[in-house]
């Protein structure tokens, strides 16, 4: 299955190696930024939260500009500088000592990360044929999670809040990891250039973000993504952890085990899922993702109901919720970017991918803000009802999307490697 999921072109395979290497570095630091800012550098919880929130706001604000620059100058000229900026910013986190320096450094990190994901997806889409793109995006996601898991386990054995130097080491290592995909891109001079040709003479402009938003199928896909991620991904960091600890009353260590179960599920199941969904309806897979996410939250709700009677069952439900959620991710990760790039044109591919990545940024602002008040109502049952209902609504939106797509865009037609990319549906 691994051999079958690998892209045909060697350049794409080398980019996947870059994804794995950079993900290891990301995993070293991903769970520990809040702890580092508060317990090591002495920031209050409020100030540390503002610093992290500022990072998200800057990234979200700059993402549209990143998509425009990718389409105008090519992903290569955008991604390589962003990776270098990200490396400098991440390494500088080892030197922060105050709220001001933390805000300055996180601004640099946000500038770097604002276009990396959309740029890398654009490059990967340009190096893969329509019939293999879904498999390759799924493999890319599995490698990303494998790297984060390796990095997280490594840093968990290294860091010590009593020794600030241990945190400085992992941030420097994370900075070095961002140089790996940059070096790989520099060794591939023919990769990542402008995809669409420049209009000449009286030829009309390919358009901008308004043209992207006029694409009715893509607009429906964006709505699906916003609803699903707001009630899904965006709830993991705050809603899931808060409900597990405060309502289900499990030990915080159980939350760590649950996140590990999520990673293990993704790494083990991703290749099998890729194989099973190939040639099947993409919108059908998205509908199933909503149902799986809803099931995961229902299982977590059971943990809150039984916590006072059976702590072991509550802990098992928390871990099971995270694992079930990971199974849903294995379907979403290959389908969402593949469908986005099936709808995109070469001239606007960067903007399509930027809009797709912005979904996670917008939901990342809405989800944490709403999770706290909802969990405080009716012992968390209001929060469970909202996120379960939201995931099911997302499934209905995916169902409505199917009639707007051609069979090829929906993945129900196996296209050969030489077949042209299907044109976007009319607005």
pLDDT value of residue 156? 75
pLDDT value of residue 321? 96
Check whether 386 has a pLDDT greater than 90. yes
pLDDT mean across residues, the chain: 88
pLDDT value of residue 365? 78
Q: Which residue has the tokens 């358009």?
A: 207
Check whether 416 has a pLDDT greater than 80. no
Which DSSP state fits 194? Answer: -
Q: How confident is the model at residue 65 (pLDDT cuts 50, 70, 90)?
A: very high
Lowest-confidence region among 196-205, 255-264, 333-342, 374-383: 196-205
Residue 28, C-beta contacts closer than 8 angstroms, at least 6 positions apart: 151, 152, 154, 155, 170, 171, 173, 174, 177
pLDDT value of residue 130? 87
Radius of gyration of the chain (CA): 21
Average pLDDT over residues 329-351: 93
Residue 194, C-beta contacts closer than 8 angstroms, at least 6 positions apart: 71, 72, 73, 74
Q: Which residue has the tokens 């109901």?
A: 305
Q: How confident is the model at residue 200 (pLDDT cuts 50, 70, 90)?
A: low
For the chain, give the percent of residues with pLDDT over 90.
60
pLDDT value of residue 175? 95
**Of 58, 343, 323, nearest to 219 (Cα)?**
343
Q: How confident is the model at residue 255 (pLDDT cuts 50, 70, 90)?
A: confident
Average pLDDT over residues 381-394: 95
The sign of the CA dihedral 182, 185, 189, 193 is negative
The pLDDT tens digits for 217-242 are 999 999 999 999 999 988 886 788 88
What's the pTM value of the predicted model, to 2 decimals?
A: 0.84
Check whether 415 has a pLDDT greater than 70. no
Greatest C-alpha distance within the chain: 75
Lowest-confidence region among 30-39, 293-302, 398-407: 30-39
Q: Is 342 left (phi over 0), alpha (psi -120 to 50) or beta?
A: alpha
Domains of the chain, CATH where assigned: 1-189 (1.20.1250.20), 208-413 (1.20.1250.20)
The pLDDT tens digits for 68-116 are 999 999 999 999 999 999 999 999 999 999 999 999 999 999 999 999 9
pLDDT value of residue 426? 44
pLDDT value of residue 377? 76
**Of 330, 315, 336, nearest to 262 (Cα)?**
330
Check whether 418 has a pLDDT greater than 60. no
Lowest-confidence region among 30-34, 57-61, 168-172, 307-311: 30-34
């Amino acid at each position: 299955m691994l051999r079958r999921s690998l892209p045909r072109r060697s350049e794409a395979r080398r980019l996947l190696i870059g994804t794995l290497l950079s993900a290891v570095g990301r995993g070293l630091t991903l769970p520990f930024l809040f702890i580092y800012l508060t317990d090591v550098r002495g920031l209050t919880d409020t100030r540390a939260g503002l610093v992290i929130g500022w990072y998200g706001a800057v990234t979200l604000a700059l993402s549209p500009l990143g998509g425009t620059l990718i389409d105008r100058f090519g992903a290569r000229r955008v991604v390589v500088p962003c990776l270098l900026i990200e490396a400098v910013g991440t390494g500088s986190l080892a030197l922060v000592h105050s709220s001001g320096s933390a805000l300055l450094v996180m601004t640099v990190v946000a500038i770097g990360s604002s276009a990396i994901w959309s740029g890398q997806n654009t490059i990967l889409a340009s190096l893969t044929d329509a019939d293999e793109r879904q498999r390759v995006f799924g493999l890319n996601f599995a490698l990303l999670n494998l790297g984060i898991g390796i990095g997280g386990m490594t840093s968990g054995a290294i860091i010590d809040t009593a020794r600030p130097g241990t945190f400085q080491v992992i941030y420097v290592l994370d900075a070095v990891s961002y140089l790996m995909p940059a070096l790989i891109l520099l060794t591939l001079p023919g990769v990542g250039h402008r995809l669409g040709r420049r209009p000449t003479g009286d030829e009309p402009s390919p358009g901008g973000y308004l043209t992207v938003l006029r694409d009715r199928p893509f607009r429906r896909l964006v709505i699906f993504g916003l609803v699903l991620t707001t009630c899904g991904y965006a709830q993991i960091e705050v809603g899931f952890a808060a409900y597990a600890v405060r309502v289900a009353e499990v030990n915080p260590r159980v939350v760590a085990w649950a996140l590990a179960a999520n990673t293990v599920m993704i790494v083990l199941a991703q290749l099998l899922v890729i194989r099973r969904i190939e040639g099947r309806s993409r919108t059908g897979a998205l509908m199933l993702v909503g149902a799986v996410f809803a099931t995961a939250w229902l299982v977590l709700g059971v943990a809150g109901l039984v916590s006072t009677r059976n702590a072991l069952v509550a802990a098992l439900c928390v871990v099971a919720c995270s694992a079930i959620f990971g199974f849903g991710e294995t379907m979403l990760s290959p389908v969402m970017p593949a469908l986005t790039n099936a709808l995109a044109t070469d001239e606007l591919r960067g903007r399509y991918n930027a809009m797709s990545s912005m979904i996670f940024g917008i939901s990342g602002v809405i989800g944490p803000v709403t999770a706290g008040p909802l969990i405080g109502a009716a012992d968390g049952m209001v929060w469970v009802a909202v996120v379960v209902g939201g995931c099911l609504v997302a499934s209905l939106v995916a169902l409505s999307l199917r009639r707007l797509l051609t069979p090829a865009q929906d993945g129900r037609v196996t296209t050969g490697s030489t077949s042209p990319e299907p044109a976007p549906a009319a607005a």
